[in-house]
Amino acid sequence: MALIVQKYGGTSVANLDRIRKVAKRIIRVYSAGNDVVVVLSAMAGVTDGLIQLAHQITNDPNRRELDVLLATGEQTTVSLLCIMLESMGCPAISLLGHQAEIVTDRAFGQARIVGIHATRIKELLTRRKIVAVAGFQGRDQQGNITTLGRGGSDTSAVALAAALKADVCEIYTDVDGVYTTDPNLCKDAKKLHKIAYDEMLEMASLGAKVLQIRSVEFAKKFNVPVHVRSSFKEEEGTMVVEEEEDMERLVVSSVAYSKDEARITLTRVPDRPGVASKIFTPVADAGIVVDMIIQNTRKGGLTDLTFTVPKHDYPRAMAIQKEVAKSIGAEQVLGDEHIAKVSVIGVGMRSHSGVAAKTFSSLANENINIMMISTSEIKISCVIEEKYTELAVRVLHQAFGLDSP
Amino acid sequence: MALIVQKYGGTSVANLDRIRKVAKRIIRVYSAGNDVVVVLSAMAGVTDGLIQLAHQITNDPNRRELDVLLATGEQTTVSLLCIMLESMGCPAISLLGHQAEIVTDRAFGQARIVGIHATRIKELLTRRKIVAVAGFQGRDQQGNITTLGRGGSDTSAVALAAALKADVCEIYTDVDGVYTTDPNLCKDAKKLHKIAYDEMLEMASLGAKVLQIRSVEFAKKFNVPVHVRSSFKEEEGTMVVEEEEDMERLVVSSVAYSKDEARITLTRVPDRPGVASKIFTPVADAGIVVDMIIQNTRKGGLTDLTFTVPKHDYPRAMAIQKEVAKSIGAEQVLGDEHIAKVSVIGVGMRSHSGVAAKTFSSLANENINIMMISTSEIKISCVIEEKYTELAVRVLHQAFGLDSP
């Protein structure tokens, strides 16, 4: 008998029929004697609909109030699930973020969980209740409703699993696990049986949309085994777990890609102390996150400086840099929205050399030019022209033997 | 400078355009230097839609969870209003039932307010915030979400006004005040400038749907002046206040009617001690509220017993009485769904005689047969055939001079 936290995403609870299927799955696990805590997202499309509604009023809705509005989405699904479970004869109770005492900081719209007081949930489990917790939401110290940002229900689930010391946190989604790369893009992609937290972290930050990155951070920090699987199928998915020795046999475990960034270059920047700060401080002040940065020294004390930003921040970032260029005396500001970032990831890199060389040569063989490179202990990312994305992914996937079991 | 509680009903916040109009009205009052607390209902139709959704799952949705579901309706409107107010440059903050510390008993779906801790609201008003409170909802002692039943937002508003010692509680609705009778039914109906709590209580319980009866009880108990008015017009509506001496000049202040009841008669009931208990206990156990009861003694120790129940409980009540009739040896059970109750109401009755006689003769002159009569200090109700409702209302309205200013 185990304590299992299950999280169901928006497509899994998109209508009453699907909620009924979810309820049946829960009852099966519960009836086998397990304690079950369920975390739900809003029905697919609901959160976006509410955001649009608020934006019909103003482009910049008050963040505290927007969170109050968005929190209704998960409130709806947990109550419907509990009505469903109760109608099937199963004792269930819903808890909203504040009732589950999911305490966060006050960063409305992107709050971070600072603690969970799980006493009430534990007591309810002792009484053999199925506890359905509204995902994506919490409360700050003053009792204001907060939300955790896109994909926040993953984090709610893993944080609850950590607080409850659950045996496993199952993330039910519309894909049946984590793949060596995007199966839509590469038909030879293989489902991974197991993956290390660090690899999943890199994948999440490099474009794979399976799990919210913060949920993986939580899982790693508290060593919560996470099982990513499909709510539409019975088969097992992918376990995200602590790094194990046999994982290193595979040098690269996956290939990720992202088309969500754009590139900005300032040419002939006078290379003086403090100039980087003048370039990046106004970007940071505007809340724009810079990913990769490259600086090439040129003769005459002038340098070219290139960096990437999220595509949706690109127009604002360009406007800022045009002002910056004037004030620091740079020649011009060049921008490119048509780029992609492809990455190879694997904890095996820690003990294997030659991964970078193989990556670069594989791309070169296809005449794909690498514009920027960024590396960590377990990943190599290359920025390339967007039109080569699919080709690059397939080439790298094959080069590291991910297409053969 | 006053402290004003305003409540807006579902039609007043039915869409973003109307919410914008409400926001403008609030800002006008706020900008004049008043402190404003706003109580909102859900958008028109939303609560019914959610109830239907739950009933697609089961005929008898878990009451605790249904309240969690329904509470999203008001959560949506208060957050949208605050986003609107903030976008117009007005400092606003929404509070849900539990955040406003509206504490209720645990009767899900029809909870009663047992207390309001208004400290936080007072503090927010001191900081010149417009406070928008979700109507219809509260929390019990354990923090479970509760709802107050249909029309509950009226009660939220009046209870908040009482707790805050507000100068007035304005109830904005789709009618522009309280009328001498239903204007849809009697074109000579006049808007009342002022009405006593007791009269409003009788009107609410006798079929007028302007205010939830519990809100009037609260207003009377805590002496909160209530101003019923239209959110679509500027003109003043009707003040509901403590009884004043000049109110007695008008013998009857209004005529109410209801078609929401049905009549059940048990014939030839053996008139023994305990028999009434045998008839009414199972009805009460089924949660059915009996309104009027009449018992006629007949010869031979047999009696006829007639009573009325809400129309939607009629089929259940009939089934119960057929069982009862067998067990107590009554002859038969007769039922009639086609009845109406017309009532004349006025605090002036306390000091004037002849009201009953005038009521009965006015109806008799039109050949309207009176089936049952029920009286209190300030009202006389008659059950008649349903088809005569409109005629009876007009006749009584005229007989007591309500058609002339």
Q: What is the pLDDT of residue B5?
A: 98
β strands within B178-278, DSSP E = 194-196, 226-230, 238-241, 254-258, 261-270
**A3-174 has which fold?**
Carbamate kinase (3.40.1160)
Query: Which chain A residues touch B15 with a CB distance below 8 Å?
Result: none
Q: What is the pLDDT of residue B271?
A: 83
Q: What is the pLDDT of residue B405?
A: 64
A355 and A219 in contact (C-beta within 8 Å)? no
Q: Taking an 8 Å Cβ-Cβ cutoff, which residues of chain A contact chain B?
A: 16, 53-54, 56-58, 60-62, 64-66, 68-69, 71-72, 75-76, 78-80, 82-84, 86-87, 92-94, 96, 98-99, 143-145
How far is the C-alpha of A126 from the C-alpha of B259, rounded, in Å?
50
B36 and B24 in contact (C-beta within 8 Å)? no
CA distances from B153 to B5, B9, B75, B79 (A): 12, 8, 12, 16
Across A275-280, average pLDDT: 90
What is the edge-to-edge ordering of all strands in the sheet holding B35-40?
B92-95, B130-134, B35-40, B3-8, B168-173, B226-230, B238-241, B194-196
Q: B68, A61: Cβ pair inside 8 Å?
A: no
The CA distance from A24 to the nearest CA of chain B, in Å, is 14
How many other CB atoms are found less than 10 A from the CB of residue A8?
Answer: 28
Residues in contact with A343: Cβ distance below 8 Å, sequence separation at least 6, in sequence order: A202, A206, A207, A255, A256, A257, A379, A380, A381, A382
Among partner residues A57, A60, A83, which is closest to B54 by beta-carbon distance?
A: A83
Query: Which chain A residues touch B53 with a CB distance below 8 Å?
Result: 16, 80
CA distances from B218 to B101, B134, B141, B379 (A): 17, 18, 21, 21
Q: Among residues A344, A371, A365, which one has the least CA distance to residue A257?
A: A344
Residues of chain B below pLDDT 70: 248, 405
How far is the C-alpha of B125 from the C-alpha of B161, rounded, in Å?
13
Residues in contact with B70: Cβ distance below 8 Å, sequence separation at least 6, in sequence order: B42, B47, B50, B51, B136, B137, B147
The label of the residue with tokens 């009449």 reads B294
Query: Which chain B residues touch A64 with a CB distance below 8 Å?
Result: 82, 93
Among partner residues B69, B93, B96, which is closest to A79 by beta-carbon distance?
A: B69
Number of H helices, E strands in chain A: 11, 20
Q: What is the pLDDT of residue A151?
A: 87
For A179-217, the pLDDT digits (tens) are 999 998 999 999 999 999 999 999 988 877 788 889 999
ipTM summary value: 0.86
Q: Taking an 8 Å Cβ-Cβ cutoff, which residues of chain B contact chain A?
A: 16, 53-54, 56-58, 60-62, 64-66, 68-69, 71-72, 75-76, 78-80, 82-84, 86-87, 92-94, 96, 98-99, 143-145
Q: Which helix (H) or strand (E) holds A103?
A: strand A102-104
For B208-230, the pLDDT digits (tens) are 778 888 999 999 999 999 999 99
Q: What is the pLDDT of residue A405?
A: 64
Query: Which chain B residues touch A17 with a CB distance below 8 Å?
Result: none
B211 and B154 in contact (C-beta within 8 Å)? yes
Across A91-118, average pLDDT: 96
Q: Which helix (H) or strand (E) holds A182?
A: none
Query: Which chain A residues touch B76 with a CB distance below 8 Å?
Result: 69, 72
How far is the C-alpha of A340 from the C-alpha of A338, rounded, in Å?
7
Query: Which chain A residues touch B79 with a CB distance below 8 Å?
Result: 65-66, 68-69
Q: What count of CB pairs under 8 Å joins A to B?
A: 106
- Percentage of chain A beyond pLDDT 70 is 99
CA-based torsion, B46, A157, B62, A233: positive or negative:
positive
What is the edge-to-edge ordering of all strands in the sheet holding B339-345?
B254-258, B339-345, B379-385, B372-376
Among partner residues A16, A54, A145, which is closest to B57 by beta-carbon distance?
A: A16
How far is the C-alpha of B171 from the C-alpha of B43, rounded, in Å?
16
The label of the residue with tokens 């007989």 reads B399
Q: Which helix (H) or strand (E) holds B400?
A: none
Query: Which chain A residues touch B133 with a CB distance below 8 Å?
Result: none
Which of A68, A72, A121 would you mutate first to test chain B, the one with the most B CBs within 10 A? A68
For A286-321, the pLDDT digits (tens) are 989 899 988 877 777 888 899 999 999 999 999 999
What is chain B's Cα-based Rg?
Answer: 23
How far is the C-alpha of A391 from the C-alpha of A398, rounded, in Å?
11
Read off the tokens for B102: 């509206």
For A350-384, the pLDDT digits (tens) are 888 889 999 999 999 999 999 999 888 899 999 99
How far is the C-alpha of A168 from the C-alpha of A162, rounded, in Å?
9
Q: What is the pLDDT of residue A41?
A: 97
Residues in contact with B63: Cβ distance below 8 Å, sequence separation at least 6, in sequence order: B108, B109
Q: What is the pLDDT of residue B151?
A: 87
Q: A76, B72: Cβ pair inside 8 Å?
A: yes
B248 and B351 in contact (C-beta within 8 Å)? yes
